[in-house]
A and B are shown apart, each in its own frame.
Chain A
Amino acid sequence: MLDQAYYDKAQEIIEQHGVAQASLIPIIQDIQTEYRYLPPELLSFVAKQLGINEAKAYSVATFYENFSFEPKGKYIIKVCDGTACHVRRSTPILERLYSELGLSKNKATTDDMLFTLETVSCLGACGLAPVLTVNDKVYPSMTPDAATELIQELRGGEA
């Protein structure tokens, strides 16, 4: 059971979008934006409020890679591994980030909840390949060294 404040916030978001089954995705997107992840309890809550079966809501939320039931870090780094980025050597960038952050394929978020590292299939910016994003900011023509620098910069900003 989450703190009541979570449910109040979810209720507020539901009211913004209106109680309609079609609002499910925008509502859970906003919840995810608010908390940087989708708390499972809130998905059940939203489903109940909208009159959708919990299983159906879970079906929708798991269909889209974008929704996460796990809390994410403050900086969400998405490394593009689409065809263009892949051939322009995105893999070494990803590997550097893994080692820099102590993460792996099975562990996406650092223990200090600062970074989450994900790969995406295409960011739609193939002309800038290889590309990555940090939250919504795009970093074009990346290299492993530039990635290391970027991490240091972000860590520095925190200190």
Chain B
Amino acid sequence: MGYMTINNRKVAFTDEKNVLSVIRKSGIDLPTFCYHSELSTYGACRMCVVEDERGKVFASCSEVPRDGMVIYTNTPRLQHHRKMIIELLLASHCRDCTTCHTNGTCTLQKLANQLGVSFVRFENNKPQVPIDESSDCIVIDSNKCILCGDCVRTCDEVQGVGILDFAFRGSNMKVMPAFNRIMADTDCVGCGQCRTVCPTGAITIKQNISPIWQHISEKDTRVVVQIAPAVRVAVGDKFGVPKGENSLGKLAAALRMMGFDEIYDTNFGADLTVMEESAELVERLEKGENLPLFTSCCPGWVKFCETRYPELKKHISTCRSPQQMFGAVLKEDARVNPHDGKKTVVVSIMPCTAKKAEIHRPEHFTDGEQHVDYVLTTTEVTRMIQEAGIDLSTLEPEALDMPFGIASGAAAIFGVTGGVTEAVLRRLVNDDSQQALQEISFTGVRGTDGLKEAVVTLGDREVKIAVVNGLANAGKLMDQIQSGEVYYDFVEVMACRRGCIAGGGQPLPIGPRTKKARVEGIYRVDSMAQIKLSNENPIVTTLYDGLLKGKEHKLLHNHTDAE
């Protein structure tokens, strides 16, 4: 607690952890490349430098606020300093902005413009290295890296995966996996969180746009699309729709204009997941085997568990993820129903880069046919809408198609941490009165904590639940479960902090305010939904009595082990 003087104005501070936070709170947006409030302080980019009354220049991110401090944030000396940093960064940076995937969202580009860097005196004599496109999820172009280390710290501190780190030193320093392996040869889980913090185009999403335009143009092809829960609260970002607002109807209208044939909701797939996963939980609780049951919706988590904790793999639910359940159902429908003899291509729109790898996993084929053919991230679909010359914000919302266009509120909340658990609890409690719903929402499953716990009484048994988000948190929990330190019956894991709304494929920037608005947006979708429980979704019942009859296990569960 105290006061400091920033640019001759007196500013109060309380528990801010560094001077930078105080400056930003006072309304001055000091530029940074390497500072993220959720990561450790690195102090490398030196953009946040300030000057004190004695002329000492220091990085405000790395200084603790002290009472009586006098600082200046924009003296000619600092301006010169910042401009010089940008100029030097640009000197060894690829400057083909017009053809870069992050054109328009790049922090380096933005700051060069903001600080008026109009000329670079130095030649780029850094040897060019090949672009790593080996991963299904992300593309790494080291030539665009400015060595801020954000990806390194995110991968290690937030996700506990630690695939990327600095190698070599001085002017030879590069961010790379161990032994300069290609990404496909690493244990990268594909979560794409590195991409969400990268201030340049060094880490971008693997693009799948062009084959989709091609399929749309084919007359004998039926392009079916499913839209994940977290997409609807983010897809409007680039079109000026208020952050967190549900744009599902507008997105449906845009997709129709673009030529997609049928538009469905992955929330419907999530309803199927709730049905299957709650049944699986009850069965495991009765038999008392393979507890805790781990959720399987998140492909980043599934890969993390397989590579880090292979001995815990049997705990993962055999349920396919909502995307895969829905994909399997759509392909089965295409096999059973003629659809005018057209070839069916299933596309899913996901907030997630790891979903791009999930579709190629061997267990996600039925009778040799891949369930989902392409995954587009929210960011890619935004680009497609822009390519088509459509302004999403001006469109009138349209309904989704039938027969798979109805979903419950329980499915909508899959997009945030705790949502799967809440949805399963609703199904098991099986009571959609306001009181029952509220009781479940207050058990502790909601909120943004990395690890949440809840105890729920189901029948005559107390069920212990853990909800964890961020893979580093998941890793800690797994260690505790393995050592016997803690016991749970059900564990929900989402690889990304706060769940899919902050997924690796979502539009940038994803700051704290955006995350909050998206979480609220998801819960609003649930509040507005007329059906609250997955088992009350009439289409779910119809499907179980029709297309799915006798094929529930074949279509909705993974069974590589049995085969």
Contacts and interface: CB of A to CB of B under 8 A. Distances in A.
Interface of A: 40, 44, 53-59, 62-63
A58 B169 contact: no
A43 to B, nearest CB: 8
B168 A63 contact: yes
B165 A53 contact: yes
Nearest to A64: B169
26 contacts: A44-B178, A53-B156, A53-B162, A53-B165, A53-B178, A54-B162, A54-B178, A55-B162, A55-B164, A55-B165, A55-B176, A55-B177, A55-B178, A56-B156, A56-B165, A57-B178, A58-B165, A58-B167, A58-B178, A58-B179, A59-B166, A62-B167, A62-B168, A62-B169, A63-B166, A63-B168
Nearest to B170: A63
B163 interface: yes
A54 B308 CA distance: 13
Nearest to B164: A55
Contacts of A58: 165, 167, 178-179
Contacts of B164: 55
Interface string B58-89: 00000000000000000000000000000000
Contacts of A56: 156, 162, 165
Nearest to A63: B169
Query: Interface extent on B, as a size class?
Result: 10 to 19
B163 A55 contact: yes
Q: Which of A55, A58, A62 has the most CB of B within 10 A?
A: A55
Nearest to A69: B179
Q: Which of B167, B176, B177 has the most CB of A within 10 A?
A: B167
Contacts of A54: 162, 178
A65 to B, nearest CB: 9
A64 to B, nearest CB: 8
From DSSP, what is the main secondary structure of chain A's interface residues?
A: helix
Nearest to B165: A55
Given A55-B165, A59-B166, A63-B168, 14 more contacts: A44-B178, A53-B162, A53-B178, A54-B178, A55-B163, A55-B164, A55-B177, A55-B178, A56-B162, A58-B165, A58-B167, A58-B179, A62-B169, A63-B166
B179 A59 contact: no
A78 B177 CA distance: 30
A52 to B, nearest CB: 9
A105 to B, nearest CB: 15
A40 B179 CA distance: 8
B482 to A, nearest CB: 14
Contacts of A62: 167-169
Contacts of A57: 178
Interface in B46-63: none
Interface string B331-359: 00000000000000000000000000000
Interface in B142-169: 156, 162-169
A55 B163 CA distance: 6
A142 B414 CA distance: 73
Contacts of B165: 53, 55-56, 58-59
A56 B163 CA distance: 9
Q: Which of A44, A57, A58 has the most CB of B within 10 A?
A: A58
CB-CB nearest 5 A-B residue pairs: A53-B162, A55-B165, A54-B178, A58-B178, A59-B165
A71 B446 CA distance: 56
A40 B165 CA distance: 16
A54 B156 CA distance: 11
A59 B163 CA distance: 11
Contacts of A53: 156, 162-163, 165, 178
Nearest to A58: B178
A55 B166 CA distance: 8
A121 to B, nearest CB: 12
A63 B168 CA distance: 5
Interface string B231-260: 000000000000000000000000000000
A56 B165 CA distance: 6
Q: Which of A44, A56, A59 has the most CB of B within 10 A?
A: A59
B185 to A, nearest CB: 12
Given A44-B178, A54-B178, A59 B156 contact: no
Nearest to A53: B162
B168 to A, nearest CB: 5
Contacts of B163: 53, 55
A56 B167 CA distance: 8
A62 B167 CA distance: 6
B165 to A, nearest CB: 4
A63 B164 CA distance: 15
A53 B166 CA distance: 12
A94 B176 CA distance: 33
A53 B188 CA distance: 12
A44 B163 CA distance: 13
A58 B175 CA distance: 11
A53 B176 CA distance: 13
Q: Which of B156, B176, B178, B179 has the most CB of A within 10 A?
A: B178
A62 to B, nearest CB: 5
A59 B164 CA distance: 9
B407 to A, nearest CB: 40
A63 B166 CA distance: 9
A53 B156 CA distance: 8
A149 to B, nearest CB: 36
Contacts of A63: 166, 168-169
Interface string B27-39: 0000000000000
Contacts of A59: 165-167
